[in-house]
Chains A and B, each alone.
Chain A
Amino acid sequence: MSAHENAQEGYDFAHPLPLPLLAGTFLVLTLLTVLTVAQASFNFGSLDVLIVMVIATIKAVLVGAIFMHLAWDKPFNIICFIGSFVFVGLFIMATLFDSRQTAKDDIPVTDDAVVSAPAEL
């Protein structure tokens, strides 16, 4: 009791996560991996990439929120980390738009031997 009253500020700040939560997260992650592998045997056409990325993102969120403690972390750390993904999204989208726009400028390489010539030397 006295330990409580006199607990120093800045001590005893640890927040151990319950073991069942960690084990449950691992189980869900494994199931999602099985799901990803299983869905690859079906043909969803262009939705394929989308499905795979959604499953991967669910897994990443689970790892981030629970294994990496983000759900209990300081908001600033969360903003930093999420912010990096926002910039990654911007980066990839902008580059893909650009790539699509300039795709017509592509100079076709019809003569492969020229490209692979150095390897044969």
Chain B
Amino acid sequence: MATTDAGLASDAHEQPGHGHSDHGHGDHDHPSYLAHHFDTPEQQFDSGKLGMWLFLVTEVLFFSGMFCAYAIFRAWRPEVFEGCSQFLNTKLGAINTGVLLFSSFTMAWGVRCAQKEQHKLLTVMLATTLSCATVFLGVKAIEYSHKWHLGLLPAGLFSYDPSNPHPVGGPNYLAYICAPFVAITIGVAIWLVVSFLRGAKFQLECAKPLLVVCLCFFVGVGLGTILESGGEEGHHEDDHAVVASTDGAAPEHGEAHSHADGDEHAEHEEPAAEAVASLPAAGAMSNDSADLAVLERLATDATNTGLQDELAARKAQSERSSGGILYDVSDDASATVASAPENVLRPSRAGVFFSIYYCMTGIHAIHILAGIGVLVWLLVRSIRMDFNRNYFGPVDYVGLYWHIVDMIWIYLFPLMYLIR
């Protein structure tokens, strides 16, 4: 049969006895990779691809809701986004962008390998893509745990305090995030050893790249740790603010903040203020801060302009000394206690930024996890040499999904990390 050499890929597969006219109704009439309700592999591929594109359309629309929320809140309070964006580490974001772009490249290369039946190279490409995905998650784990530790949490949980930016204690969030990955890595390592001892060749072939993929998560964590400790200019400024508090100028920084809510809440915040004041580093300013609480209460009286001016001056001084994390646009005329709540770091406002940040990057990370799932499936199939030049659909479809996840990050990165 002359027709059979036309492209019916690997000899391992059944050959279609007849051409186009005879669609297979039995298992003997079509290659094993061709579902019996399709006439040709091309028809099968195009159908699958259309389905994938429609799914991607729903993905785009799904993410658009979150981008819309972002647009509304940013249009509403641009200064909050500008101020809060300073807390995101641009280096980590940029590294993750690069890692994701590279994984997109290896994925596209993988599709090419599947089409050209380069089985070994396809496995390598899929494993590289997977490794990039876990590096991405590792860096993300550092980013998240660092922010949770500082109390940079979504609205309602937001507890960041500029006067005490590094709260002691609290759970080790990084350990919690890493725990499942440690468990999976140990599991894969055991699987590798067992399959080696039992001489299960195929399982060994699967476990080897998967172990590398798992270990890459910790490479990402290490990379994130190095960059996080190297970057973060903002936090050094915070440290500076705490050190500067000995001269009595900075403490009201946090307090003006908490007391500004009004009289009745000033009473509420009193214990917190005492707690801050009783810290060893801030010991010198305990008198000062008690005075300030009284000053603030007096200054709420609109007629007491002298005190208001003094308070505004102190606030401006503390802002200057802390490096301007608090982005306050108020000028001298409007710098009253009433305008203090306009602060960027007000929990209800900064919290909304972090709500959007966690929602968007978190759902993006969930998509990465889902991508890892399907890529592992592809990896196993590629080791089994399932794909050939007439059957590379699954690689192509997963590739499309992977690229759209990358595309979303391409928009997320500048919108979140690069607001100036």
Same complex for A and B? Answer: yes
| A residues at B contact (CB < 8 Å) | 2-3, 6-17, 19, 22-23, 25-26, 29-30, 33, 36-37, 40-41, 43, 48, 52-53, 55-56, 59-60, 63-64, 66-69, 73-74, 76-77, 80-81, 83-85, 87-88, 91-92, 95-96, 99-100, 103, 109-113, 115-116, 118-119
Nearest first, the 10 closest Cβ-Cβ pairs linking A and B are A10-B40, A12-B7, A26-B105, A115-B348, A14-B115, A88-B64, A52-B414, A11-B7, A10-B42, A40-B418
Q: Which residues on B sit within 8 Å (CB–CB) of A76? A: 50
Q: Which of A37, A43, A112 interacts with B94 by CB under 8 Å?
A: A37
From residue A41, how far is it (CB to closest CB) to chain B in Å? 8
Q: Is the CB of B98 within 8 A of A33?
A: yes
Is B45 in contact with chain A by the CB < 8 A criterion? yes
Q: Is the CB of A67 within 8 A of B64?
A: no
Q: Mark B387-411, 1 if CB is under 8 A from A, else 0.
A: 0011010001001100110110011
Q: Given contacts A55-B414, A77-B49, A112-B341, is CB(A11)–CB(B112) below 8 Å? A: no
Ordered by A's residue number, 7 sampled pairs between the chains whose C-beta atoms are within 8 Å are A13-B45, A26-B101, A26-B105, A36-B418, A63-B407, A87-B61, A119-B347
Q: Which residues on A sit within 8 Å (CB–CB) of B104? A: 26, 29, 63, 67
Q: Is the CB of A85 within 8 A of B60?
A: yes
From residue B233, how far is it (CB to closest CB) to chain A in Å? 12
Q: Which of A36, A64, A68 interacts with B413 by CB under 8 Å?
A: A36
Q: Mark B131-160, 1 if CB is under 8 A from A, else 0.
A: 000000000000000000000000011110
Q: Is the CB of A3 within 8 A of B5?
A: yes
- Nearest B residue to A13 via CB reads B42
Is B12 in contact with chain A by the CB < 8 A criterion? no
| Chain B contact residues: helix, strand, loop or mixed | helix
Q: Is the CB of A17 within 8 A of B112?
A: yes
- Nearest B residue to A89 via CB reads B64
Interface residues on B, range: 35 or more
Q: Is the CB of B54 within 8 A of A80?
A: yes
From residue A104, how far is it (CB to closest CB) to chain B in Å? 12
Q: Is the CB of A81 within 8 A of B157?
A: no
Q: Which residues on A sit within 8 Å (CB–CB) of B112? A: 16-17, 19, 22
Q: Is the CB of B97 within 8 A of A33?
A: yes
Q: For the complex, give the distance between the alpha carbons of A11 and B31 in Å.
A: 11
Q: For the complex, give the distance between the alpha carbons of A81 and B338 in Å.
A: 49
Q: Which residues on A sit within 8 Å (CB–CB) of B249? A: none
Q: Which residues on A sit within 8 Å (CB–CB) of B419? A: 48
Q: Is the CB of B418 within 8 A of A37?
A: yes
Q: Mark B72-112, 1 if CB is under 8 A from A, else 0.
A: 10011000000000000010001001100110110111011
Q: Is the CB of B72 within 8 A of A95?
A: yes
Q: Which residues on B sit within 8 Å (CB–CB) of A115? A: 347-348
Q: Is the CB of B8 within 8 A of A22?
A: no
Q: Is the CB of B347 within 8 A of A11?
A: no
Q: Mark B345-373, 1 if CB is under 8 A from A, else 0.
A: 01110010000000000000000000000
From residue B367, how far is it (CB to closest CB) to chain A in Å? 15
Is B20 in contact with chain A by the CB < 8 A criterion? yes
Sample of 8 further A-B pairs with CB below 8 A, known A7-B6, A10-B40: A2-B5, A12-B389, A16-B115, A33-B413, A36-B418, A56-B414, A96-B75, A113-B261
Q: Is the CB of A10 within 8 A of B39?
A: yes
Q: Which residues on A sit within 8 Å (CB–CB) of B98? A: 30, 33
Is B334 in contact with chain A by the CB < 8 A criterion? no
From residue B114, how far is it (CB to closest CB) to chain A in Å? 8
Q: Which residues on B sit within 8 Å (CB–CB) of A43? A: 420
- Nearest B residue to A36 via CB reads B414
Q: Is the CB of A68 within 8 A of B50?
A: no
Q: Given contacts A22-B109, A112-B341, A119-B156, is CB(A64)–CB(B403) below 8 Å? A: yes
Q: For the complex, give the distance between the alpha carbons of A33 and B268 in Å.
A: 47
Q: Given contacts A10-B42, A67-B105, is CB(A112)–CB(B3) below 8 Å? A: no
Q: Is the CB of B407 within 8 A of A84?
A: no
Q: Is the CB of A118 within 8 A of B156?
A: yes
